[in-house]
Amino acid sequence: MKIIFDFDHTLFETEKFRKVIKKNLEKGLNQSCQFLYPDVIPLLRKVKKNFELFILSFGEEKFQKKKIQNSKIAHYFKKIVVTPNIAKMEGMKKILKKQETAIFIDDNPQALLETKKFFPNLITIRMNRGEGRYFQKPNNKKIDYCVKNLKEFEAILRKIYFIKSSTALVLFSGGLDSILVAKILQKQGIKITGITFKSYFFGAKEAKKSAKNLGIKLKIIDISKEHLKVMKSPEYGYGKEMNPCLDCRILMLKKAKEIMEKEKYGFIATGEVLGQRPMTQNKKSLEFTEKKSSLEGLLIRPLSAKPFNISGRSRKKQIALAKKFKVKQYPSPSGGCLLTDPEFSKRFKKLLKIYPQCQGNDIELLKVGRHFWLKPQNRHKTRNAKLREKIWVKIIVGRNNEENKKIKKLAKPHDILIEMKDYPGPLALIRNYQGAKLRELSSLNKAKKLTQYYSTKTRNKKNMKFKISNIK
């Protein structure tokens, strides 16, 4: 791919140069190399290996070429073209064919817009270093990108370049947005692999189904333990419920980056849409997560970028795009994460408060049954504060046979299981959160009453017999 650079105000500090040549023209020209911006040489060294470089400069040909030669960067460029036309159309024709794809960076919006009319595949980048006659004018929306220096240009360049890579890793939830991203990249001839994450709070069911429908390879990464650690103490806080979305997103992106580097994928793509979610998909958050996961220049969000420019919570554009790509099967939008569910969040919040050391088994138990916390009781009735440790007890009552099976499977040492002897009905589990054997009769009696109450056939019967199992 070709990169065409403007010279003045893009590579060269023209305002400083003009002040010098007013006093002494020959001296100013001879010292031209001193007026290059400091980010020019480092960038040219990096990009020369992968791109053909050109200069397209406006001005008097003999003067401009001498200025460029004395800047000592001419050897980086395949061709240097100087044109007397400020729109640079005729000069661009000496470098590009009409349908050729190239990158053009210039401080003059007029030059960018005029040349793009004739060269439709030109990627236009406006340089706005804060000097020159154009720097105060707003960026035209028809220009693809706007940058303040070559470091920002390099980040955009890496995005453009990696889009041309042959392989990509796509964060794939299985929802419509991630399906569309997969289709967009496939249309560009990029070989993609989906990556989805599962934890105690979300799974990979939809991702598996959608990946199968699309015929793409899917990697499923279990981050349960790391994710739980983040959930207990999120650096950037919770959302509306117990959902620390920023911390969660950064964790996923970091994991994806590790795989990208290890398996040599060209870049990472996500289905994030600007403005779709208030906490993680506003402009500031998107830039923040990209920076914190060290993916600057390696992360693209095709739906929010040109030419799609999708934003907001409406799905009309996505649905229209799905029809265009002939995508017929996709799930309805829903919160796939349990942490956004108010009832589950309430349970989880209380568990964290009482037992911050909770692990996977405790989280799985939150997903089933009816939950009842009993008032804490003293382990020992004594004046000694250490021995007066409070014992928090929870009773979980199954709602159906399927939940009874899950509760029995999740029972661990020191738990107690209670069920009715002579009648079918719910299974109850008693768990305390201090790890000691449970002996309190009040807890057992409460569990028996709840077990009987939630069996409608036995609710009013007396002298019920129960089977009590102490898990060892």
C-alpha closest to that of 170 among 262, 302, 310 = 302
Cβ-proximal residues to 20 (8 Å cutoff; 6+ apart), any chain: 27, 28, 31, 35
SS (H, E, C) 335-349: CCCHHHCHHHHHHHH
Looking at residue 377, its pLDDT comes to: 61
Asked whether residue 389 carries a pLDDT value surpassing 70, the answer given is: no
Give the residue with greater pLDDT, 203 vs 442.
Answer: 203
Report d(CA 374, CA 264) in Å as an integer.
Answer: 54
Where do the domains of the chain lie, and which CATH numbers do they carry?
2-161 (3.40.50.1000), 165-336 (3.40.50.620), 368-470 (no CATH)
Cα atoms found within 13 Å of the Cα of residue 382, Cβ hemisphere only = 9
Sole residue written with tokens 């420019």: 309
Lowest-pLDDT choice from 78-87, 138-147, 236-245, 359-368: 138-147
Sheet holding 217-222, edge to edge: 217-222, 191-198, 167-171, 267-269, 299-300
Looking at residue 440, its pLDDT comes to: 60
Looking at residue 257, its pLDDT comes to: 94
Average pLDDT over residues 60-88: 94
Sole residue written with tokens 């911050």: 356
**pTM listed for this prediction:** 0.71
Please list the residues that pair with 168 across neighbouring strands. 192, 267
Confidence label for 162 from pLDDT (cuts 50, 70 and 90): low
Average pLDDT over residues 309-328: 92
C-alpha closest to that of 239 among 344, 332, 315, 345 = 345
What is the residue-averaged pLDDT of the chain? Answer: 89
pLDDT in tens, 100-136: 889 999 999 999 999 999 999 899 999 999 877 776 6
Lowest-pLDDT choice from 82-91, 202-211, 326-335, 456-465: 326-335
Contact (CB, 8 A) for 343 and 373: no
Q: CA-CA distances (angstroms) from residue 33 to 29, 64, 70, 80, 89?
A: 9, 13, 6, 17, 28
Looking at residue 67, its pLDDT comes to: 93
Average pLDDT over residues 459-463: 89
Confidence label for 388 from pLDDT (cuts 50, 70 and 90): very low
Give the residue with greater pLDDT, 21 vs 297.
Answer: 21
| Preceding omega of 302 cis (within 30 degrees of 0) | no
Asked whether residue 382 carries a pLDDT value surpassing 50, the answer given is: no
Sole residue written with tokens 């569990």: 447
Asked whether residue 94 carries a pLDDT value surpassing 50, the answer given is: yes
Looking at residue 163, its pLDDT comes to: 61
First to last CA, the chain: 68
Q: CA-CA distances (angstroms) from residue 353 to 238, 240, 308?
A: 15, 18, 45
Asked whether residue 386 carries a pLDDT value surpassing 70, the answer given is: no
Asked whether residue 384 carries a pLDDT value surpassing 60, the answer given is: no
Average pLDDT over residues 69-98: 94
Asked whether residue 139 carries a pLDDT value surpassing 70, the answer given is: no
